[in-house]
Structure 1
C-alpha cells in the first residue's frame, strides 16, 4: 500500500515508518525540515518536505495514497489555538480533494471530552471512508517536561494525581498499534482505538519514577484547577492553552476519561514504566 505519514521523525512516526517499510509498504513521510531527507531515506521511506499548513503541498502529497496518518500536536507555547484548527481544516480539505478512503487520526485520551477544541469532530463529517481515531493516554515521555518541577518543587503537581488511574503509554507502542491497524482490513465508518502500555495510579507512577531518580518519596499531588492554571501562565503558557491543559487534566481527575476508556478494549503495548524510568533516570542526572 501507499501510505503517507505526518509527524516527521518523531517518537511515533519514525518507528511507525520503520515497521511499515519492513512490511513492504511504500511510505512517504512528511517533514518541514529539509535536513531530515537523508534520515528518512535511510529508513526506506520517501521524504516529502513541506508543511501541513500548506494546503496545495498537502493535496499533492496525499494524491494516490491508500492510507494517510494525520497528527496535529498541540503547541503549548503558542499564543492561541488558531493555527492548530487551520491544520485540521487542511487535513479535511486534502482528504476530500484526493479521495482518500482510509484515515488514521492521532487523537488523545480525553479528546472527545473537551469543550475548548474538537480534534475528532471535523473528521466525523467525512463520509464513505474509514476513519480510526487513535486515543493514547499520557506519554511516558511527558515526564521529561517535569524535570524542573521535580527539582524545584520536590513533587509532581497538576490538577489530577494521587489515586487517579492513568493509562500511560510508550510512543513506540502507539506506533505498533497503528501499524497493526493499517495492516488490518478497513471498515467504512468511524472507529475508536485506545492504546495503553501500563495502567497505574499517579501515586504508583511517581513512586516508580522517584525510585529511579533517587527520590523514593516523590509524590504526585492534585491541586485546584485555578492554582494549576496560574502556575502554567507564570511559566509563559498563554491563558488559552493553560485553560486547555487544565481542562484535559480535569477529565482525568473526575473519572470521565477512565469511564469511556473502560468501556472499550484498549490495545495493550509491551513497554512498562519501569523500563522507561531507567532511561529517564540516566537523562535526569545528565541534564
Structure 2
C-alpha cells in the first residue's frame, strides 16, 4: 500500500515507518525540515518536505495514498511561547488535515489521538484531542477513521529528572498507590502498523497501553534503576505546580492545561473511558523503560 505518515522521524513515526517498509509498503514521511530528507530516504521511505500548516502541500502529498496517518504537533519550545494559543493552533492543523483529506480523495485515515479524548471537560489540555476528533468526524461517512488513543508516554517521565537530581523527589500534583497506565511509543507504532493491515469500517477507537503501575511503585522502580532506592513521589497542590511551571517561563495557558490534565488522574476521570475499553498491553514493559530512563538520567 501507499502510506503517508505525518510526524517526521519522531518517537512514533520513525519506528512506524521502519515497520511498514519492512512489510513491503511504500511509505512517504512528511517533515518540515529539509535536513531530514537524507535520513528519511535512508530508511527506504520517500520524503515530502513541507508544513502541516499548508493545506495545499498536504493535499498534493495525500493524493494517491491508500492510508494517511495523522498527528498534530507544535514546534520545539512552543510551550514556552507566551503568545501561543495552543487550542487554536491545533484546531487549525486539524482543519488543514480535513481540507486535504477531502480534496485529495483519500478514504482511510489513522489518527493519533489520546487518552482523555472522550470528553472536553476535566482533562485539561487533552481537550484539544477531543476537538480534533470531532473535526475529523465531520468528514463524509465514506471516509473511514481509526482513532488511536494512547495513554501517557514513557518518555514523559524524563521531566522528573530535574527534581530527582535536586531533591531526590518526583514532585507532581497527583500520586498514590492506585495503578495507572503508561505506554511505549514502540508499542504505539506497532499497534498502528497492525491497524493499517486490518479492514477499515467508518469510525473506530482503540486505546493503547504497555503497562500499569502506581506512582509510589514507579518512584521505587526508577529509584532502583538510577541507584537511588530511597526516591519518593511527593504530591503537592495544583497551585504549587502551576506557579513553578509559569516561573520557569511556560505559557500560562499551557501550564494550566497540564496541571488540569494531571488533576484528572487523581479521581480516575481521565481513565474512565479507557477502563471501559481496556486494551491488551504491549510488549515494552516499565522494567524495560527503567533501563532507558537510567541511561538518560546518567547522561544529564
TM bin (shorter chain): over 0.9
Moved more, 126-135 or 9-18: 126-135
Q: Give the SS at the match of 1:232.
A: helix
Structure 1 residues 216-255: aligned runs within 5 Å? 216-255=229-268
Any idea what the Cα deviations from partners look like across 1:203-257, whole Å, max 9, x if unmatched? Answer: 1111111111111122223322222211111111111111111121122222112
Give me the whole-angstrom Cα distance separating, in 1, the residues matched to 2:137 and 2:215: 33
Report which stretch shifted further, 117-126 or 18-27. 117-126
Q: 2: distance between equivalents of 1:106 and 1:100? A: 17
1:90 and 2:96 equivalent?
yes
2:105 paired residue among 91, 99, 102? 99
The residue number in structure 2 matching 1:30 is 30
What is the RMSD computed on CA atoms of the aligned residues?
Answer: 1.5
- The aligned runs of 1:1-287 (5 Å cut-off) are 1-73=1-73, 75-78=78-81, 79-81=84-86, 82-115=88-121, 116-117=127-128, 118-128=131-141, 129-188=143-202, 190-287=203-300
Displacement after TM superposition at 1:277 (Å)? 1.1
Give the whole-Å Cα distance in 2 for the aligned partners of 1:25 and 1:228.
45
Q: Distance in 2 between matches of 1:183 and 1:104?
A: 11
TM norm structure 2: 0.91
Which consecutive residues of structure 2, in runs of 5 or more, have no partner in the other structure?
122-126
| 1:125-146 deviations in Å (ceiling 9; x for gaps) | 1222211111111111112222
Tell which deviates more after alignment, 19-28 or 72-81: 72-81
What is the CA distance between 1:10 and its match in structure 2?
0.7
Contact 1:80/1:238, CA 8 A, preserved across alignment: no
Equivalent residues of 1:165, 1:258 under 8 A apart = no
Alignment: residue pair count: 286
Instruction: Say if 1:80 and 1:251 are closer, same or farther in 2 by CA, change over 3 A.
Output: same
Compared with structure 1, are the counterparts of its residues 271 and 147 closer, same or farther at alpha carbon in structure 2 (3 Å cutoff)?
same
CA distance in 2, matches of 1:45, 1:8: 11
Cα 1:185/1:135, change in 2 over 3 Å: same
Q: CA–CA distance in 2 between the matches of 1:99 and 1:252?
A: 39
- How far, CA to CA, are the matches of 2:175 and 2:146 in structure 1? 30
Residue 124 of structure 2: aligned partner: none
TM-score, with length taken from structure 1: 0.95
